[in-house]
């Protein structure tokens, strides 16, 4: 499990839209997460080589790094790929629909209200390592 130096869970936001990337980063940062952002495939490759992530939010239709290409990049770049939430502005083609069914990755429309974004993130994040330890110490 990855976390920044303060113990916060780390999320990677991948989107070619500057405003969407900044807004998402701000919302998640205010919610207490450590957030990195990537606008290009090169950014993603660099960040994945430097950090482990607990979750990735990725634009499904990003030029040069669409959903299927992104999934392949994660497999190649990460020993253990983090969960992914794909984000989309409008509808998607049958090819994307088939990919999403095969991947079982959740989809979140964008822009999403802050509460919806944070709820989707919490649902996909693995449990914090502190939670099981606290529970086991109470049982003793």
Superfamily of domain 10-122: Response regulator (3.40.50.2300)
pLDDT(116) > 90: yes
Burial label, 12 (beta-carbon count in 10 A; 0-12, 13-18, 19+): buried
**pLDDT the model gives residue 38:** 94
pLDDT in the model for residue 6: 55
**What pLDDT is attached to residue 102?**
80
Dump pLDDT digits (tens) for 16-48.
999 999 999 999 999 999 999 999 988 998 998
pLDDT at residue 2 greater than cutoff 70 = no
pLDDT at 56: 92
Between 62 and 20, the higher pLDDT residue: 20
Instruction: Give whole-number Cα distances, 82 to 27, 35, 69, 72, in Å.
Output: 20, 14, 15, 13
Q: What share of the chain is helix, strand, coil (3-state, %, to 5)?
A: 45, 20, 35
The confidence score (pLDDT) of residue 80 equals: 76
Q: In this structure, are strands 107-109 and 84-88 parallel, antiparallel, or unpaired?
A: parallel
Rounded to an integer, the average pLDDT of 1-23 is 81
Question: Is the whole-model pTM more than 0.85?
Answer: no
pLDDT in tens, 119-131: 999 999 877 655 4
- For residues 58 and 67, is the Cβ–Cβ distance under 8 A? yes
Domain positions in the chain are 10-122
pLDDT in tens, 67-98: 888 888 888 777 778 888 988 887 777 777 77
> Please, what sign has the CA dihedral across residues 49, 4, 24, 19?
negative
């Amino acid at each position: 499990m990855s976390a920044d130096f303060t113990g916060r869970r780390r999320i990677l936001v991948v989107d070619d839209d500057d405003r969407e990337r900044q807004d998402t980063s701000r919302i998640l940062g205010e919610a207490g997460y450590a957030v990195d952002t990537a606008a290009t495939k090169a950014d993603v490759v660099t960040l994945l080589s430097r950090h482990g992530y607990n979750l990735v939010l990725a634009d499904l239709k990003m030029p040069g790094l669409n959903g299927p290409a992104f999934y392949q990049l994660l497999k190649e770049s990460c020993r253990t790929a983090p969960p992914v939430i794909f984000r989309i502005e409008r509808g998607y083609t049958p090819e994307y629909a088939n990919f999403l069914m095969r991947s079982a990755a959740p989809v979140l429309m964008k822009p999403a209200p802050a509460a919806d974004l944070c709820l989707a993130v919490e649902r996909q994040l693995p449990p914090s390592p502190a939670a099981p330890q606290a529970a086991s110490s109470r049982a003793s």
